[in-house]
Amino acid sequence: MPVLTREEAQNRARLIEVHRYTVELDLTRGDELFGSTTTIRFHAREAGADTFVELNPAALHRAVLDGHELDLAAAPLADGRLPLTALAQGEHELRVETDMRYSRTGEGMHRFTDPADGETYLYTMCCMSDAGSVFAAFDQPDLKAVFDARVTAPPEWTVLGNGIATRVGDPAEGRWELAATPPISTYLVALAAGPYHSVRTEHAGLPFGLHVRRSLAPYLEDDAEELFDITRRCFDRYHEIFEEPYPFDSYDQAFVPEFNFGAMENPGLVTLRDEFIYRSAVTDAERQTRAMVIAHEMAHMWFGDLVTMTWWDDIWLNESFAEYMGYQVLTETTRYTDIWADFGVRRKNWGYDADQRPSTHPVAPAPEQVPDTAAARLNFDGISYAKGASALRQLVTWLGEKDFLQGINRHFARHRFGNATLADFIDSLAHGSDRDVHAWADTWLRTTGVDTLTPAITTHGDRWSAEIRHDGGGDGTDPAPRPHRIAIGLYDHEPAAAHQLVLRKRLEAELNGAEPTLTLSFTGPRPDLLLLNDGDLSYAKVRLDPGSWKTVVRSLSGLPDAVSRAVVWNAARDMVRDGELPPTDYLEAVRAHLPRETDIAIVQGVLAFARTQIADRYLPAEQRPAALATLGATCRDLLRRTEDNSGPGLRLAAVRGFIESATAPAGLSDWLDGDTVPGGPALDPELRWQVLGRLAVLGAIGPAEIDAELARDSSATGQEGAARCRAALPDPDAKQAAWDALFGTADEPSELSELSNYLVTATATGFWQPEHHELLTDYLPRYFPAAAEVAARRGPAIADAVARSGFPTTVDTRTLELGEECLRRDDLLPALRRRLADQLDDLRRALRVQRRQEERGSGA
C-alpha cells in the first residue's frame, strides 16, 4: 500500500466523520482470492470536498456512492486509493465490491495451510496501514467508526472477530454475523477463520476464549488453565486500577501461525504468535514472557483501543504504557514477582541499543519526524516499547503511583472511544499534581540518547564520599542530562561467606539534570560495592568504580536480589559495548558466576549476549573457539549443578547454550542418537531441531538426516527447522539452493520465491554462519542488491526479515563498505533502509570493540 502522509490524514479528518462500516467477506473463493464488500457510512463537513479511501484489491468490481455507480474510468483506482470527488455536504454511503488477495507475509489477510494436517487458517493483520488489503477504508487512527461484519466461510470453520461471532441460517452455508463494535480505528479491525480448536470459559460476565489450529489442540489443552488464570488475574487487576470498565463484549485470544509480531491488541480478539502454545519444554522465563504478552495486550484495551493516538507519532501512548503496565500488573498479581529482572536483561537492553544508534528518535517524536505511515512503521522499536516503559517507570517513581493512576483515569474519562495526543495525556497527568509534568515530558520524551551515571569514591580517614558524574547521552543535539530519581545500594561481603554480599543500606538520590555531579558523604568504611540505580527504576547506563568492579568479579552471584544482579550484568554489557571492558573479562565473569545464578532470565540473557555478540562479533576470529569453549564449560557446570533436576528451567537453558556453543559434533551426535541428554531432558522436537541445526553448521549431517527428521516432525515448525538446517549446511549446492529460495535464481532473478515470512526467516538464519565465511565470500557483494530487490517486491515484512535474520555475519570493513554503498541508493524501501542502517551501526561498534581488544592484546 502507498504511504499516507500526516498532512493528508489531517485534511481528511477535517473533511469527514466516519460513522459505520459493514464488511462482508466471502472466504470460499479458493486459495488465492477472497471476496470483500464494504459499506461505509460517513459525513462530509463541507460541500465540494475531495477525499479517498484506501483499497488494494486484486479486482475492483463496483463502487457505488449514494446509489450512483462511480465512473471508474474517469476516476480510476490508483496507487491503492479510490478517489471520492466533489462530495456534497452531509451524509453519504459508499459501497465497494472487490476481490482481495490472500497474503503469505503476515500482512493483510494471511493464509496458512498447516503441513501437519492440510487444514487452512486465516487471520487479519491490519496494523498499521494494511486495512485496505482486507476492506475499503478511511485508514487512519483518528477516523474511528462502528464496525460490524458478515462472513461466509466453509461450514466446518470457526469465525472470530472484534465482536461476538454468531452462526446464522443453515449451518451448511457457513454464514456468520459479528456483533457491532464500539467506535474503533481501522488498524484494529480483526478476523480469524478456520477450523480452530477452541477452549472457552466465562469471567466477570464476559465470554473468554482461547483458539489454536487443530494440530496444536493437545498443547493448548495442557496450558489452557494457566492461560486463563493469567488472563483473569490481569483482567481483575486492571479493573482495580482503572475506573473505566473493559469496553468490549468478549475477550478472545487466537494463537495464529506465521505472525510477524509477538501479538496484536485487536479489541475483543487479540492475536498472538502460536509459538506461545508450547510443543516442547520451555523455561519458566519463557512462560513469564508469554504471561507478560498477555498482560501487555490486555492493557491495550484501554491504552490504544479505548483511547487511541491521533497520529502515529504517539504510538508510545499505546506501546510504552502497555509495556509498563504489563510488567507491573504481572508483578502485583502472579507468581512472576521477579519479572523486572527479565525486563532489565531482555527488554531494556533493546531500548539502550536502539537509543545509541543514528536511527534513534524521541519516545514522543516531533510531528515532522513522523511525516507518513512509512516513517511511523519504523518506530515500533526498542524506543517506543522498552525506553518508553522505562521512562514511565521513572515517572511513577518521581510522580508517585497515586497521582499517576489518577492522571491516567482522568485521561480515559476525557477521551473514551476517541483519540488523544501527548499534550492531552500530559494535561491529564499534570492536573492535580504539584510536579512539573510538562517539563518532565520535555526532558524524557522529547530527547534522545542514554544518560551515563559514573561513581568515583574517595576515602578520608573514617569517612568516604561518592561523587556521581551525570553525563547526557544525546546525539549532539540533545546532550543535556535528564533528571533521575534513583536508588543507590551499598553492599558488603558477608563475613561468614566470602562470596556473599549483604545490603548495608539503600538510599534514594535525585539527580536534577542541571548539575553535572552529585556528591554524597558518609561516615565509616566504604562499601565493597556501590551500585547506582539499584532496583533499576531509571533509564541510564551505570558504571562501577574500580573497587566495586573487583567485588563484582569476586561476588556478583552473591548479590541477594535478581534485579540488582541484572543491573550489574547490564553495566558490564554496556562497558563491553562501549570499549571500556575487554570482552574476555566479561566471559571470565560469565564463567565464574553464571553457574551459580538462580534467575533463569538472567542466565538466558547473559548467555545470549555472550554467544551472539561476544563470541560471534566482538572477538577477533582467532579468539572465537576459546570463547565458545568457555561458554560450553559454563553450560556443563550448570548441567552438573542441575543433575538432580532441582532446576529444570536452568537445565534447559544450559542444554540450549551447550548446543549453540559446540565446536565438535561428538557429544551432540550422541544426544541425538540417544534422543536424550544424559540425566535429562529427553530431546523434544525443538531440541532435536536445535541439535540438528548445530550439527549442520559443523558439517556433521547432510540432507538425508534433515529429511529423516522432517518425516518425524512434519509440522510447521518442523518445516522451518528443516529450511534452517538445509541453509546451514557447509556445502556450495546447499548455499545456492537457500539463496535461490530467498532471492530467486541466477537465470531468472525477477522470479522471486514466495516463501512465507517464517520460512524466509528460517532460511536466512541458517544461511550466514561465522564458520562458513570462506564459503560465503562470493555472496557478500550480492546480498545488498538482492535484499533491495526482494524488499521492493514483497514489502516491509520480508524486507525486515532479510535484513534482520539474513544480514551477513562477517565482521569486516568490506561488509561495511558494501552496506554503506547500498544505503546511498534512493530507491530503498524505508523498512529495509532502517534495518540495514541499524545493522551497519552495530557492525561499526563490533569493529571498534575488536580493534580495542587487539590493542590490549598487543599492549598498545
Percent of the chain past pLDDT 70, that is, above it, reads 98
Q: Is the dihedral angle over the CA atoms 252, 256, 262, 266 positive or is it negative?
A: negative
Q: Say what the pTM is.
A: 0.96
For residue 9, the number of C-alpha atoms closer than 13 Å in the C-beta half-sphere is: 22
Look at 492 and 859; give whichever has higher pLDDT: 492
pLDDT at 19 (0 to 100): 98
**What span, in angstroms and rounded, lies between the C-alpha atoms of 378 and 364?**
13
pLDDT at 860 (0 to 100): 55
**What span, in angstroms and rounded, lies between the C-alpha atoms of 831 and 781?**
21
Instruction: Give SS3 for 119.
Output: coil
Are 580 and 617 a contacting pair, CB within 8 Å? no
Q: Is it true that domain 6-195 has CATH number 3.30.930.10?
A: no
For residue 757, the number of C-alpha atoms closer than 13 Å in the C-beta half-sphere is: 25
Least Cα distance to 739 among 766, 717, 757 occurs for: 766
- Confidence at 416, pLDDT banded by 50, 70, 90: very high
Least Cα distance to 265 among 279, 248, 280, 278 occurs for: 248
**What span, in angstroms and rounded, lies between the C-alpha atoms of 504 and 587?**
29
Look at 719 and 2; give whichever has higher pLDDT: 719
Indicate the range of 157-171, 572-586, 635-649 predicted with least confidence: 635-649
- Confidence at 746, pLDDT banded by 50, 70, 90: low
Q: C-alpha cell of 669?
A: 551426535
For residue 459, the number of C-alpha atoms closer than 13 Å in the C-beta half-sphere is: 8
- Confidence at 754, pLDDT banded by 50, 70, 90: confident
Q: Which helix (H) or strand (E) holds 238?
A: helix 217-241
- Confidence at 854, pLDDT banded by 50, 70, 90: confident
- Residue ranges per structural domain of the chain: 6-195, 214-222+229-247+271-448, 452-548, 733-860
Per-residue pLDDT tens over the stretch 692-734: 999 999 999 999 999 999 999 999 999 999 999 999 999 999 9
pLDDT at 419 (0 to 100): 98
Indicate the range of 8-22, 541-555, 844-858 predicted with least confidence: 844-858
Q: How many helices (H) and strands (E) does the chain have?
A: 27, 28
pLDDT at 749 (0 to 100): 46
pLDDT at 295 (0 to 100): 98
Instruction: Give SS3 for 493.
Output: strand
Three-class HEC string of 451-490: CEEEEEEEEECCEEEEEEEEECCCCCCCCCCCCEEEEEEE
Least Cα distance to 187 among 267, 241, 103 occurs for: 267
Q: C-alpha cell of 727?
A: 541453509
Q: Residue 315: is its pLDDT beyond 70?
A: yes
Average model confidence (pLDDT) across the chain: 95
Alpha-helical (H) ranges within 380-466 are: 388-399, 401-415, 422-430, 437-445
pLDDT at 240 (0 to 100): 98
Q: C-alpha cell of 18?
A: 466516519
Superfamily for domain range 214-222+229-247+271-448? Neutral Protease Domain 2 (1.10.390.10)
- Confidence at 752, pLDDT banded by 50, 70, 90: very low
Q: φ and ψ at 475, to 5 degrees?
A: -95, 20
460-464, Cβ contacts within 8 angstroms, sequence gap of 24 or more: 462/523, 462/524, 462/525, 463/521, 463/522, 463/523, 463/524, 464/521, 464/522, 464/524, 464/525, 464/526
* Stretch 463-487: mean pLDDT: 80
- Confidence at 114, pLDDT banded by 50, 70, 90: very high
Q: Residue 858: is its pLDDT beyond 70?
A: no
* Stretch 2-14: mean pLDDT: 95
Q: φ and ψ at 48, to 5 degrees?
A: 80, 15
Q: Residue 341: is its pLDDT beyond 90?
A: yes
Are 718 and 709 a contacting pair, CB within 8 Å? yes
Least Cα distance to 125 among 276, 218, 320, 264 occurs for: 264
Q: Is it true that domain 452-548 has CATH number 2.60.40.1840?
A: yes
Beta-carbon contacts of residue 698 (< 8 Å; ≥ 6 apart)? 662, 663, 664, 665, 771
Q: Residue 751: is its pLDDT beyond 50?
A: no
pLDDT at 121 (0 to 100): 98
Per-residue pLDDT tens over the stretch 594-612: 999 999 999 999 999 999 9
pLDDT at 497 (0 to 100): 80
Q: Is the dihedral angle over the CA atoms 354, 357, 361, 363 positive or is it negative?
A: positive
CA distances from 679 to 328, 643, 651, 683, 794 (A): 37, 6, 10, 11, 47
Given the residues 297, 319, 660, 686, select the one marked as catalytic: 297
Per-residue pLDDT tens over the stretch 215-225: 999 999 999 99
Q: Residue 414: is its pLDDT beyond 70?
A: yes
- Confidence at 750, pLDDT banded by 50, 70, 90: very low
pLDDT at 475 (0 to 100): 44
pLDDT at 722 (0 to 100): 98
Q: Do domains 6-195 and 452-548 have the same CATH topology?
A: yes
For residue 297, indicate whether it is catalytic: yes
Grid coordinates 486500577 are at which residue?
A: 241
pLDDT at 481 (0 to 100): 82
